[in-house]
Structure 1
Amino acid sequence: MPTRRVITSRSREPRQRFAEELQSLRAESGLSLRQLGDQLGWDWSLFSKLESGETLGGPEVVQALDAHYGTGSLLLTLWELALGDPTQFREKYRRYMTLEAEAVSLWQYSVSSPPGLLQTEGYAREVLAAGGSAGKELTQQVEARIGRRVLLTGDDAPPFRAILSEAVLRTSLRSAEAWREQLAYLAEAAERPNITLQVLTQAAGPHGLMNTDVMFLRLTDGRTVAYAENDISGELIEENRQVERLQRRYDAVRDLALSPAASRKAITQMLEEARASY
């Protein structure tokens, strides 16, 4: 039997292979980390962490790298393998992630937890653990969620509006420190020029999105799609009439919510109360 030929010296461990591919592609391009960051609009330290294997980042930065290097979907495929959880990438959700990364504006209504794009690591870890994730799977899911936050950073970050049910601000974590960090992150995010937060108080009463977390994405071709989800499943909605019906409900909820200025004050007050309580 002939000796088996070694095709590549690259690692067969998915996470390490992903990092090695990033290192190789940048070396071939002749760019420094800072130059790569400048060209793509992300902080160079993110690419350093990606290449060292410290983090996996989110789909939007990986897709940007695929486009930059002209590698098709190679890096995104390696990224998905590195995450190691195929249940996260059912076709509808995979398509949603692609659309989210390309959206020119986003807006959301959150029923009981902060939008994934605005969650801290401590918050994501506790909530995902409560849902049954543990060990390596939990770490992978936290990294995937936190990695998405880079979408809202950088000079070209799209505008994002989120309406938070008051329950979002009153459903604290078991970890008092993690909860304070989450409230502080929301307060900081509300000050960014591309992010608008509004709070819907309990006094607003019943409304059309009481049990529905929904994200709207305005795409480059002018279309709007929606992604509605609960703890069990999610649905990507692209049919115009269904999206329009959801949009009308969202607009009605927005009219009931506090103004952005009053909402910032409410979030800051909740943070102060959390700091004083522990």
Structure 2
Amino acid sequence: MAKAIGPTVPRWQLGERLTGLREEAGMTLAEVADEMDCSEWKIRRIEQGQVGVTRPELRTLLDLYDVEDREPLEELQQLGRQRGWWSRYSRYLAPNHANLLGIESAAVSIRAWEPLVIPGLLQTEPYARGLTRANLQSDEDGARSVEIKIARQKLVWDDDPPAAWYVLDESVLKRKIGDNAIMREQLKRLIDPPNRCTIQILPYDKAEHPGAAGGLTIFEFDQDLHSPIAYIESQAGSLYLEEAELDRCRSVIDHTMALALSPAESVEFIRGVLGRISPDHQEDKQ
């Protein structure tokens, strides 16, 4: 069964190619909009991959740019018109969050460094609920956030999962979200992660490392679909980085992977942390 990749990445790829074709044809956004009898804003959104393009619109654009080899672009157009699994939640999703869901769906490889909390694709449902309270979300928004997160996990891990590699800071294991039972369940999930998922732990004694500036994730895709993308999330919003910026992100993850415990050592380390978390109503072991 073919991997369901969603519309996000194909739209980005098609938009990038259409931008290059327009520039090669020596046309401005305004000139194309005039020929298409639409707004310049619409052409810009198509080129930025924010909206899909219909087959007649694509044909008109390719006529304007005098393009002969159309099949690859028509395939991207068709992929970009499909509905992502998250479309039923679209009214609740910010554009950047919807983009992340689309990127996850299309990725064949995920590599991430996380210094603060368990990554969303590895969280248990109780841990995810605890995070919504920590993030000061309302009960309604929190419940929906958890529902989307669990759906994300099912779609990513259940059918043709990507090769995933996570490096977690030691503090991620020890930052208590919810009660002891929630943390014990969450650490057990890390000991037995999803298929094709590898976890490393960066212990406190690796005091100096290039990941100190914050977490990041690198997504890779089938070669014909899109070049790799680095994703950085912060309180101010999300960033998607490519090309020159990507080299620095790769270097950060490569260095943290090299400094971290091996996957086997990491499992034993997590077991040690788990063993020191007592059931609720008892003091944790020192």
Structure 2 residue runs without a partner (length 5+): 9-78
4+ aligned runs moved over 6 Å, structure 1: 59-63
Identical residues among aligned pairs (%): 24
- Deviates most, 134-143 or 71-80: 71-80
Partner deviation per Cα, 1:173-199 (whole Å, 9 max, x = no partner): 23121111111111111xx55011000
**d(CA) in 2 for partners of 1:139 and 1:178?**
17
**d(CA) in 2 for partners of 1:71 and 1:251?**
32
**CA deviation after TM superposition for structure 1 residue 93, in Å:** 3.4
**d(CA) in 1 for partners of 2:196 and 2:166?**
11
Among 100, 109, 116, the residue aligned to 1:112: 116
* Residue aligning to 2:273: 270
Alignment of structure 1 residues 171-250 onto 2, 5 Å: 171-189=175-193, 192-221=194-223, 223-238=227-242, 240-250=243-253
**Equivalent residue pairs, number:** 209
Secondary structure at the aligned position of 2:222 is classed as: coil
* Paired residues of 2:206 and 2:259 also in contact (CA < 8 A): yes
Aligned AA (2:133): A
Among 101, 107, 113, the residue aligned to 1:103: 107
Aligned AA (1:79): R
Q: Does 1:146 align with 2:150?
A: yes
If the length of structure 2 is used for normalisation, what is the TM-score?
A: 0.66
**d(CA) in 1 for partners of 2:84 and 2:134?**
31
**d(CA) in 1 for partners of 2:82 and 2:167?**
34
**CA deviation after TM superposition for structure 1 residue 257, in Å:** 0.3
* Residue aligning to 1:127: 131
Q: Does 1:80 align with 2:89?
A: yes
**CA deviation after TM superposition for structure 1 residue 137, in Å:** 0.9
Aligned AA (2:94): F
Q: Flag the structure with larger Rg.
A: 2
Structure 1 residue runs without a partner (length 5+): 1-38, 42-58, 64-69
* Residue aligning to 1:255: 258
* Paired residues of 1:107 and 1:160 also in contact (CA < 8 A): yes
* Paired residues of 2:101 and 2:152 also in contact (CA < 8 A): no
If the length of structure 1 is used for normalisation, what is the TM-score?
A: 0.67
Q: Does 1:159 align with 2:168?
A: no
* Paired residues of 2:111 and 2:253 also in contact (CA < 8 A): no
**CA deviation after TM superposition for structure 1 residue 62, in Å:** 10
Aligned AA (1:89): A
**d(CA) in 2 for partners of 1:172 and 1:62?**
37
The alpha-carbon distance between structure 1 residues 77 and 261, as it changes in their structure 2 partners (threshold 3 A), is: closer
Partner deviation per Cα, 1:137-190 (whole Å, 9 max, x = no partner): 11101111222112442362111000000010110123121111111111111x
* Paired residues of 1:60 and 1:151 also in contact (CA < 8 A): no
* Residue aligning to 1:89: 94
* Residue aligning to 1:25: none
Secondary structure at the aligned position of 2:254 is classed as: helix
Partner deviation per Cα, 1:69-128 (whole Å, 9 max, x = no partner): x994446474124xx42xx322x4322321211111111001111111000111111111
**d(CA) in 2 for partners of 1:262 and 1:236?**
32
